Amino acid sequence: MDQDNCTHDCSTCGEDCSGEEFLNEVVEDTMHRLSVVKKTIIFASAKGGVGKSFVTSLLACELKNKGYRVGILDGDLSGSTISLLFGTAENPEIIKGGMFPVQTENGISIISLPLLTSNPSAPLIWDGPRAAAFAKQFWMDVIWDTLDFLLIDTPSDTCDTTQMLFNLPTIDGVIAITDPSEISTILTSRTVNYAKICKLNIVGLIENYADDAMKADYTEELTKNFNIPLLDKVAFDKELYQNANDGKIHAKKTKLFDQTVQTLIGMLDK
């Protein structure tokens, strides 16, 4: 069957296609049966503009550079940027029973809404429940094969999609992203509090756009209020942001997230 006409419901399909071997015996909220993921980490903040996608992508690159198998699930449907940051526009292969993620130039497996649309600049006019249901298909239908880490990029605030992602089974931890502002402190607190409500492991906090000139250390306030570690601080890097704008976020090797990377690697043994 032409993949454009595939409904992924093999029970109603009379076609004889190569997807038979990939049939997903669907159990609600579980990954595809052919996906083996060791650790799944959510990156989140209720504040928009703190660089969740940027941080998620750079961390994926650092883990990949150390030899780990990494995937990114772009759950922020209305603000999907993961494929754009990597300059990847290839359509995922869709077969009976699922779809395969697209490989970036440096070998990271990704799934992101722009890879499934003919016009990435078209607005997504979906209500919350529909967006959440579509994002759940990324979780259930994508055939990741074997990954050491699946990183999930989330929308801002605790919207329907974020709630769905936080309540998926086998989430191993949440990393909250903030910036050095009082507003971000308040909004990122929402994310941490929601993670606590969901009884998720809060791995720690990353401060993006770190600025030593700030008079008050709002990020330190966050770490003290919630007794969570500050994993890394990342200052603005013009070259990195230009690379991201050019779809080459993987072009420059960095060591910006040493503590975060070591923390995640340490989780593999647990």
What gap in Å lies between CA 20 and CA 40, rounded to an integer?
A: 27
- pLDDT given for residue 253 in this prediction: 87
Is pLDDT of 2 > 50?
no
Fold of the CATH domain 3-267: Rossmann fold (3.40.50)
Percent helix, percent strand, percent coil in the chain, to nearest 5:
35, 20, 45
What gap in Å lies between CA 94 and CA 186, rounded to an integer?
A: 41
- Please report, for residues 76, 109, 111, 265, the alpha-carbon distance to residue 69 in angstroms, rounded to integers and kept in the order given: 22, 8, 15, 12
- pLDDT given for residue 96 in this prediction: 83
Alpha helices in the chain (DSSP H): 52-65, 82-85, 128-141, 160-166, 182-197, 218-226, 238-245, 258-267
Closest to 151 (Cα-Cα) out of 61, 240, 20, 85: 61
Tens of pLDDT, residue by residue over 246-263, are 999 999 988 899 999 999
Residue range 140-161: mean pLDDT, rounded: 94
What gap in Å lies between CA 28 and CA 50, rounded to an integer?
A: 32
Residue range 76-103: mean pLDDT, rounded: 93
Split at pLDDT 50, 70, 90, the class of 21 is low
More confident residue, 112 or 159: 112
Q: What residues pair up with 97 in beta bridges, in sequence order?
A: none
What gap in Å lies between CA 115 and CA 92, rounded to an integer?
A: 7
Residue range 121-131: mean pLDDT, rounded: 87
Residue 234 three-state SS: strand
Give residue limits of the domains in the chain. 3-267
- pLDDT given for residue 1 in this prediction: 38
